[in-house]
Structure 1
Amino acid sequence: MRAPIGNFDEDAAAPAADRTDLLVAPVAEAVTRGWGGFAAEQILHVDTDPDLADTAVFVEHYGAELLDESANCVVVAGKRGTGVTLAACVVLSRTRVDVNGAVRRHLGARKASFAPMDLAVGESGMEYGGITPVGLPTAWPLLIDPAVLDEEWVLIGSGSRRGKLIVPGKSLAALPGAVVVEGLGV
């Protein structure tokens, strides 16, 4: 199967539901059942080299245009008093998350910061460098920049450093806890 974006080998892409053995448990479960009217067959998995998972190296190897068609998912922690709220933020790879502005305001937090790696990995059940909005804990707010939804296809993490998912951009708005936040990506 040919991936709709990127310069991947022809046999690198397949329906993610056919590759659950390459996905971490929460992601495998989410892609198997699909979400918000998006069938499992619409979610593709691209098998990639885990040593090339970081965005800059990845786009250099698999196609510079992927920088415009990729989205990063980062876990943030919003603090108010003694309470901590974990949330995931999805922005296009060419932008950064406005943690101290848009995220802090949306979460009603006094302070917001990127979650420590061990907390993000432990709570999501995913590998650092591969965290994806697909299969995150449903209690987490999932903040999405509107520019991500405007992309016909978006390359996102797969839950592990090996492989990526390619999904219709608008499908991310149908994930549990998804909220579109203007100005999230700056």
Structure 2
Amino acid sequence: MRSWNIAGTLDVVPAAERPDLLAEPVAKALRELGADTEAGVVEIDPEVADTEQFCETYGSPLDASANCVVVAGKRGGEVRYAAAMVLATTRADVNNVIRRRLDVRKASFAPMADAVAQTAMAYGGITPIGLPDDWPVLLDTAVAEAPEVVIGSGTRNGKLLVTGELLASLPAAEVIDGLAKPII
């Protein structure tokens, strides 16, 4: 397994060795992609799973963390979902870029209960790996080009370490320039 520069004080193991740190859909998707030995996983305290707390606690750089947000919008009575991956130092452009991509009049963050039920992942740990097949996975260009990035594992007691290349290779991935805006 590769050496991860963004792990801070954490010990990284191949995801295949610690499936208990992954939500079931995440573990299954990594196996199907043949990436469960390539992706790293770390065990963390679930109380510090939120990105800023995670980075402060474990010494992982904030600019090497990416957040996955679940966005929903309606069109003709049908709810359309998408996942957006942006670096933690940015925000997803929900009202313009994602709304247009979903072809809905209004898009917003999906309610927590819906996001958890639809993904079978823990809120705060939702990740683009293992999402429902019909959801687009929208990646900001900076995420897709990242040599390594920390993302959720589908649980709050683990984090995945992956390459942007792996995320861009997901079957439903779409790399979108301008998906993220700097946090002001």
TM, length-normalised to structure 1: 0.92
Could you say which residue in structure 1 is the equivalent of 2:125?
Answer: 130
- The match for 1:108 among 90, 103, 112 is 103
Report the AA paired with residue 44 of structure 1: G
Aligned to 2:149: 154
Query: Counterpart in 2 of 1:45?
Result: 41
8 A contact 2:4–2:148 mirrored in 1: no
Match of residue 50 from structure 2: 54
User: How far does residue 28 in structure 1 lie from its aligned partner after superposition?
Assistant: 1.1
Q: Offset of 1:34 from its aligned partner?
A: 2.3
Write the letter of the residue equivalent to 1:31.
L
Q: 2:72 matched to which residue of 1?
A: 77
Whether the aligned pair in 2 keeps the contact of 1:145 and 1:183 (CA below 8 Å) is yes
Q: For residues 108 and 55 of structure 1, what CA distance do their matches in structure 2 show?
A: 30
Counterpart of 1:41, as a letter, is T
Partner of 2:180: 185
The whole-number CA distance in structure 2 between the counterparts of 1:61 and 1:20 is: 23
2:39–2:162 Cα contact (<8 Å) kept: yes
Work out whether residues 66 and 155 of structure 1, in 8 Å CA contact, stay in contact via their aligned partners in 2: no
Shift of 1:3: 3.6
Question: Hey, what's the Cα distance between the residues in 2 that align with 1:171 and 1:83?
Answer: 30
Report the counterpart of residue 34 of structure 1 in structure 2.
33
Q: Give ranges in structure 1 of 5+ residues lacking alignment.
A: none
SS of 2:154's equivalent in the other structure is coil
Shift of 1:148: 0.3
Aligned residues: 180
Q: Does 1:21 align with 2:20?
A: yes
Instruction: Report % sequence identity.
Output: 53
Unaligned 5+ residue runs, structure 2? Answer: none
CA displacement, residues 146-181 of structure 1 (integer Å, 9 cap, x when unaligned): 000111001000001111000011110111211111
CA drift at 1:8: 2.2
User: Quick check: 1:118 aligned with 2:113?
Assistant: yes
The answer on whether the counterparts of 2:22 and 2:153 sit within 8 Å (CA) in structure 1 is: yes
Post-superposition shift, 1:81? Answer: 3.1
For 1:22 and 1:178, the matched residues in 2 are separated by: 23
1:88 correspondence with 2:88: no
CA contact (8 A) 2:49 2:157 kept: yes
1:41 and 1:8 map into 2 onto residues whose CA distance is: 21
